[in-house]
């Protein structure tokens, strides 16, 4: 199966630690997955019940995005917003199966690590979360809604992170009633001028498209989050503008994530563009105070600050985590006690466990 990327571009991703899946998808193991496997801390997604060693970080659209954000750590390579003639998309089933297998291949080397317990290693081999976000814009994958369904049908939670440039896809999620566990809309500016400088959209009317997406958020029953990637000297301005967007979207959560000077973004921005944690908290409060949101969590390592709409929403979210943890235990009971030595060859799994 030929991948969408040209061989020389594919090699760059492989050297960066990605594992290609099918024609246009990919998986990369994040640092927190590795840390959690060895008994260390987990990432900020723990706030929503995700245990990092069981998280698959993937994209159904590698190097396919209609923004070219200046703070993006990913490679902006030729063909980033184009498809070959006669292009065919992989099915959601192929993508999910391939992503899980790729994750297992990337983590199998931890099997003999003395810091990794047998239980934790086996848990990682049976992931319970898929973060659909790694690279590109997932909403450009035309079968995103079916992808969410396949993920959830396999006993996994699904987080979708979109830049809001394809509101028709978000509307389809609503219309078909197949909502992800968390729906993130990343917003890169408080007004059109700043947004264009930060996001560098490759499509016309991008600001209007993002606002259309935000207007759909109040209709969702799942966790909805506006995420602001904050870059000093670029978009960390005009808190009143951000407050108006929050007021429009009424997300259950608001996250501010500090830009990190890594990867390809180092060629576009200075190190000083990284805000300190205290600056994120201060700027976040300037937004939150205008819309009544409450500061709830701070992750110093990842420099992420989370605000919640109200106390009732926070308690509702905690109850969701509690229910998910019980569901997780039920799902894990299918293999715990039966699988003692995980090997990559599918035939080593009992037939009834091969879809887990």
pLDDT tens digit string along 201-221? 999 999 999 999 999 999 999
Structural domain boundaries of the chain?
13-74+90-339
Q: Residue 345 has what pLDDT?
A: 57
Q: How far is CA 240 from the centre of its chain?
A: 27
pLDDT tens digit string along 168-193? 999 999 999 999 999 999 999 999 99
User: Dihedral of the CA atoms 276, 282, 287, 290 (nearest 10)?
Assistant: 180
DSSP E strands: which ranges in the chain?
A: 19-21, 25-27, 55-59, 129-132, 157-162, 182-187, 223-230, 253-258, 294-299, 304-308
With the C-alpha atoms ordered 356, 46, 310, 134, is the resulting torsion angle positive or negative?
negative
Does the pLDDT value for residue 165 go beyond 50? yes
pLDDT tens digit string along 14-62? 988 899 999 999 999 999 999 999 999 999 999 999 999 999 999 999 9
pLDDT tens digit string along 263-292? 888 999 999 999 999 999 999 999 999 999
pLDDT tens digit string along 63-121? 899 999 999 988 787 667 778 788 899 999 999 999 999 999 999 999 989 999 999 99
Helix (H) or strand (E) holding 32: helix 31-37
Fold observed for domain 13-74+90-339? TIM Barrel (3.20.20)
Nearest Cα residue to 35 out of 341, 302, 227: 302
Rounded percentage of the chain residues whose pLDDT exceeds 70 = 94
Q: Which residue has the higher pLDDT, 147 or 346?
A: 147
Nearest Cα residue to 228 out of 295, 287, 147, 168: 287
Q: Residue 325 has what pLDDT?
A: 97
Q: Residue 351 has what pLDDT?
A: 54
Stretch 127-155: mean pLDDT:
96
Stretch 289-301: mean pLDDT:
97
Instruction: Work out the pLDDT band at 354, boundaries 50, 70, 90.
Output: low
Phi-psi region of 205 (alpha: psi -120 to 50; beta: other; left: phi over 0): left
- For residue 253, the tally of other CB atoms under 10 A from its CB is 23
Average pLDDT of the chain, as a whole number:
93
Instruction: Work out the pLDDT band at 237, boundaries 50, 70, 90.
Output: very high
Stretch 233-242: mean pLDDT:
98
């Amino acid at each position: 199966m030929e991948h969408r990327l040209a061989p020389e571009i594919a090699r760059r991703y492989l050297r960066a630690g990605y594992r290609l899946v099918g024609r246009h998808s990919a998986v990369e193991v994040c640092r927190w997955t590795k840390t959690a496997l060895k008994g260390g801390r987990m990432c900020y997604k723990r706030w929503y019940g995700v245990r990092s060693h069981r998280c698959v970080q993937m994209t159904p659209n590698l190097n396919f995005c209609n923004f070219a954000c200046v703070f993006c750590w990913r490679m902006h390579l030729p063909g980033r917003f184009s498809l070959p003639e006669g292009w065919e998309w992989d099915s959601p089933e192929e993508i999910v199966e391939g992503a899980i297998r790729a994750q297992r291949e990337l983590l199998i080397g931890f099997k003999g690590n003395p810091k990794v317990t047998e239980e934790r290693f086996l848990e990682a081999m049976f992931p319970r979360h898929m973060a659909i976000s790694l690279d590109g814009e997932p909403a450009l994958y035309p079968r995103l809604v079916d992808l969410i369904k396949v993920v959830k049908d396999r006993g996994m939670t699904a987080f979708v992170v979109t830049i809001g440039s394809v509101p028709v896809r978000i509307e389809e999620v609503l219309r078909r009633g197949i909502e992800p566990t968390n729906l993130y809309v990343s917003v890169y500016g408080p007004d059109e001028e700043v947004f264009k400088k930060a996001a560098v959209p490759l499509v016309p009317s991008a600001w209007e498209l993002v606002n259309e997406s935000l207007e759909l958020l109040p209709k969702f029953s799942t966790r909805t989050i506006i995420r602001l990637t904050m870059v000093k000297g670029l978009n960390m301005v005009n808190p009143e503008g951000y407050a108006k967007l929050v007021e429009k979207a009424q997300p259950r959560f608001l996250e501010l994530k500090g830009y990190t000077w890594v990867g390809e973004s180092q060629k576009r921005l200075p190190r000083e563009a990284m805000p300190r944690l205290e600056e994120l908290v201060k700027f976040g409060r300037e937004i939150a105070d205008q819309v009544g949101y409450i500061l709830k969590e701070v992750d110093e390592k990842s420099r992420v600050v989370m605000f919640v709409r109200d106390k009732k929403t926070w308690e509702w979210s905690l109850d969701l985590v509690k229910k998910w943890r019980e569901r997780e235990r039920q799902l894990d009971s299918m293999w715990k006690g039966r699988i003692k030595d995980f090997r990559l060859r599918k035939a080593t799994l009992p037939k009834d466990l091969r879809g887990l």
